[in-house]
Structure 1
Amino acid sequence: MKNIVLFICYTFLTVSCSSSQGKKWSNSSKEMVTKFAKTITSYELKEMLYIYASDDFEGRNTGEPGQKKAVNFIKDHYVENGILSPIAIDDYFQEIPSSYFNNQVKDSENVLAYIKGSEKPDEVIIISAHLDHIGISKSGEINNGADDDGSGTVAILEIAEAFQTAVKSGYSPKRSILFLHVTGEEIGLYGSRYYADIDPVFPLENTVANLNIDMIGRVDPKHEDKGNYLYLIGSDKLSKELHDLSELVNKTFFNLEFDYTYNDDNDPNRFYYRSDHYNFAKNNIPVIFYFNGTHADYHKPSDTPDKINYEFLETRARLIFHTAWELANRTNRVKLD
C-alpha cells in the first residue's frame, strides 16, 4: 500500500509540474504564474515610461548625460525592489570604454540585475532590451524613443518585479534570470556584443535562451484595427523546442496573433540581424526577438509616450514573463537543434 501511495503522489507531482514538456499545465500552476504575471500593469508601465522617455533624458544618446540618467533610473528600480547585481554589491554597471566604440562616443555601460535560480543557478535565461536611443536631432528636437526602446526597458523592469514578487512568495525560479539592459544598440549593437564577446558575466555555454524586447508598445499599419499581436523573430532558427514552447505559452494564456513575417530568411528588412538577440544567436544561444514592427514615428521626435498602447504593452510584457517563467522552471533546458 505504501508503494502505491508513493506512486500516486509521484504521478500527481509529475503531471502538475511538467509544464510544456507534458504539453499542459495543471490548473493550480496556471493560477500561480498568472497571479504573478498580473503584477505587471499598464499603470506602472505608463508611469515609468513617461519618466524614461521624457525630455529630461535627452534622447538617451550613448555616452551622453541623458543616457547616464537612464542607467541610474534602471539601477534605482532594481535597488528599490531588492533585486541584486551579478557583478558586485551595489555595482549594476558593466563598464564599456570609449575605445570599444572606436572612440565614436564616450564611455558607456550596460545595466545588469539578476535573480539566482534555486535549483540550477548556473543555467541562465537572459531577458534583454536596449536602454539607448538616438539623442537630440540637429534641429534641437529630442528623440524620446518611447517605443524604441523605452517600451522594452520598462517591460523588463516590470517582468523583473513580477519574478521578485514570486521569490518573496516562496517561488524562486529554478534557473537564474539575468535582466540585461544594453547600451549602444542604435550605433551597432555594441552593448550586447560587448557582453557576448568580451565579458559574459555568465558563461555562454550555460545561457539557455535570450528573450530580446525591442519595440513592443505600438501598432504598425498592418495591424491597425485588429487585436493584439507581436512579430516573433528567430524563435525556430536554433531550437524548435523553444518555438513550440513559445507557441504553447501563447495558446494557453493569451492567444495573441504571432506574426512570423520578419522571421523569413529572405525578409529584406533583415531584422534578425538588427537587434541585440543576434549577438547571442551567433553564439548558438536560442533566441526570441519580440517586436511590434515599425511605424511613422520610428526614429523621430514624435516617438513619444502618449502614443503607446499601454493595454497591449501590458499583455505583451505578461506574455514574455510567462515564457521566461516556463524556460526557467521546466525540467530540462530547451534543446539546441
Structure 2
Amino acid sequence: MNPLAAQLRQDTEAICYADGRKVGTPGHERARLHLLRRLEEIGCLPFAGDSLELPYHHRKQDFCNLVGRIPGQDSRLPPLLIGAHYDSVIPFPCADDNAAAVAIALQAGRMIRDKGGLRRDVVIAIFDAEEPPYFLGDAMGSQRFYADHVAGKVAIHAAVVMDLVGHDISVPGEMLGIIPGVGLLNLLLPGFGRKDFAVPHLRSGLFVTGSESHAELPPVLQSFGQPPDLRVIATQNCYIGDVSDHGVFRRNGVPYWFLSCGQWAHYHTPTDTPDRLNYDKMAAVTNYLVQMVEGLDGRELRGERKTEQITETIELEAEFLRSALGILHRPVMRWAGLKDVKTREDMDQFARALLGMGLGVL
C-alpha cells in the first residue's frame, strides 16, 4: 500500500466507530472533534468568522458543519470548494458512506497545501446532516452552509462534492453473460446471475456528473483524459438527481462536479466497514480530485450561471464511456441493445439499462 493509500486508510478508520456517527450521538461528537483537529493539522484557516466550526440549530437540535480554507495566492478571487458529509445513517461504521470521502477531502487539502496552495483559496467543507431524516430538509448541512455563509456573501467559483467513493464497482453476474464463455456459468452455477462481482476491468470505475453545469467544464474534464488507475464515466446529473450535497450548488447555479462509485451491496448496512474499501483506488481518486481542482483554478468560468441553462455534453459522455469500457465497449453496447452511444437518446437507453440492473444508482 502506497503512503497516500495508507494515510487514507488511517483517516477513514479514525471515524469509523462501531456506534457510528448519527447526528446527536456520542460517535457524532467524537467525529466532530477529530475532524476539527485534522482540519487544523492540514493547515486550514477559518472560512467564516474565527472558527472552523460553523454550528447551527434546527428544531431543538444542534448541528455543526466543519469548514476551512487552504489559502491561495489571491484570496480576493472566488474560492473553490471540496465537499463531503461526515454523519452516518445508522449506528455502524459507514466507511464508504461517507468516511472515505471525508478522508479524501482531507488528503486533497493537505496535498494542495504542500504544493503551496493554488491561485484561489480552496475550501474544505465537511458537511453535517446529509443522511435521512435531514436529507433535502432545512437541517441538511450543505443547504444550511449555503444559506448561512454563501448566498449573497461569497461567490463559489466551482464545487467538487463526493459521496460513496471508496469501493470497487461490482456488476451482477447476469451482466457478465456478455463476456464469451462466462454466460455458461449462469447455467452451471445456480444463483450465479444474482450475485455481484468486481470485474478487474470495471472495478476502478468512477462516475462524474455535473459537466453540464457550465460550458467550460467539459473541456476541462477532457483535458485530463482517463487517469491511469481509474475508469471515469462522465454523465449528467439528470440520471441520478440531487442525491447528495452537490444538489444545493446545482440549484444555485454553481459549476460543480459530483464524484461517486454509486451504491453497492453494503450501502446503508452494518457491513459497510473499512476493511471492504479499496484504498489504492481512493488514492487514485484523491490524485484525480486534486487535478480537477487545479484545472478549475486555472479557468475563469465566464458566462452567466443559471440553473435552467444546461450544456449538452453527449460528446464528452460518449468519449469517456468508450474509454472507460475499453475492450468491453462492444459487448456492453450489445447488452444495452445499442451499436454505440452517439446521441442523447442513446445515452438515455444506456442509462435505463444500467439503472435496470441496479448499477449507477445512488
Could you say if the C-alpha distance between residues 54 and 165 of structure 1 is closer, same or farther in structure 2, counting changes exceeding 3 Å? same
Partner of 1:235: 211
Could you say if the C-alpha distance between residues 120 and 95 of structure 1 is closer, same or farther in structure 2, counting changes exceeding 3 Å? closer
CA distance in 2, matches of 1:202, 1:71: 27
Q: CA deviation at 1:274?
A: 1.1
Instruction: State the number of aligned residues.
Output: 272
Q: CA deviation at 1:196?
A: 1.3
Tell which has more relative contact order, 1 or 2 (C-alpha 8 A, sep 6+). Answer: 1
Percent identity of paired positions between Structure 1 and Structure 2: 21
Instruction: Work out which of the residue numbers 58, 79, 83 in structure 2 matches 1:98.
Output: 58
How big is each residue's C-alpha offset from its partner over 1:268-289, in whole Å with a ceiling of 9 and x where there is no partner?
xxx3311101101100001111
**Secondary structure class of the residue paired with 1:118:** coil
**Secondary structure class of the residue paired with 2:257:** strand
**Secondary structure class of the residue paired with 1:123:** coil
Q: Which runs of structure 2 are paired with 1:1-337 in the superposition (5 Å)?
A: 41-55=4-18, 58-89=19-50, 91-99=51-59, 103=60, 106-119=61-74, 121-136=76-91, 143-167=92-116, 172-187=117-132, 188-189=135-136, 190-200=140-150, 203-204=153-154, 206-222=155-171, 224-227=199-202, 228-236=204-212, 238-251=213-226, 253-254=227-228, 256-260=230-234, 263=236, 265=238, 267=239, 271-328=240-297, 330=298, 332-333=300-301, 335=303, 336=305
Q: CA deviation at 1:331?
A: 5.1
TM-score by length of 1: 0.75
Greater share of helix: 1
Partner of 2:331: none
Could you say if the C-alpha distance between residues 297 and 110 of structure 1 is closer, same or farther in structure 2, counting changes exceeding 3 Å? same
Could you say if the C-alpha distance between residues 255 and 272 of structure 1 is closer, same or farther in structure 2, counting changes exceeding 3 Å? farther
Return the letter of the residue paired with 1:111.
L
Q: CA deviation at 1:176?
A: 1.2
Could you say if the C-alpha distance between residues 256 and 250 of structure 1 is closer, same or farther in structure 2, counting changes exceeding 3 Å? farther
TM-score by length of 2: 0.70
CA distance in 1, matches of 2:158, 2:3: 22
Return the letter of the residue paired with 2:210.
G
CA distance in 1, matches of 2:83, 2:34: 16
How big is each residue's C-alpha offset from its partner over 1:78-110, in whole Å with a ceiling of 9 and x where there is no partner?
222332112344x211111032xxx5xx30100
Partner of 1:9: none
Q: CA deviation at 1:164?
A: 1.1
Q: CA deviation at 1:53?
A: 1.1
Q: CA deviation at 1:75?
A: 1.1
- In the alignment, structure 1 segments of 5+ residues that lack a partner are 1-38, 137-142
CA distance in 2, matches of 1:49, 1:160: 15
**Secondary structure class of the residue paired with 2:106:** helix
Q: CA deviation at 1:332?
A: 2.0
**Secondary structure class of the residue paired with 2:65:** strand
Could you say if the C-alpha distance between residues 120 and 113 of structure 1 is closer, same or farther in structure 2, counting changes exceeding 3 Å? closer
Could you say if the C-alpha distance between residues 260 and 246 of structure 1 is closer, same or farther in structure 2, counting changes exceeding 3 Å? closer
CA distance in 2, matches of 1:135, 1:62: 10
CA distance in 2, matches of 1:153, 1:288: 16
Q: CA deviation at 1:40?
A: 7.3
Q: CA deviation at 1:115?
A: 1.6
Could you say if the C-alpha distance between residues 297 and 185 of structure 1 is closer, same or farther in structure 2, counting changes exceeding 3 Å? same
CA distance in 2, matches of 1:50, 1:44: 10
Could you say if the C-alpha distance between residues 201 and 49 of structure 1 is closer, same or farther in structure 2, counting changes exceeding 3 Å? farther
Q: Are the equivalent residues in 1 in contact too, given 2:90–2:268 (CA < 8 A)?
A: no
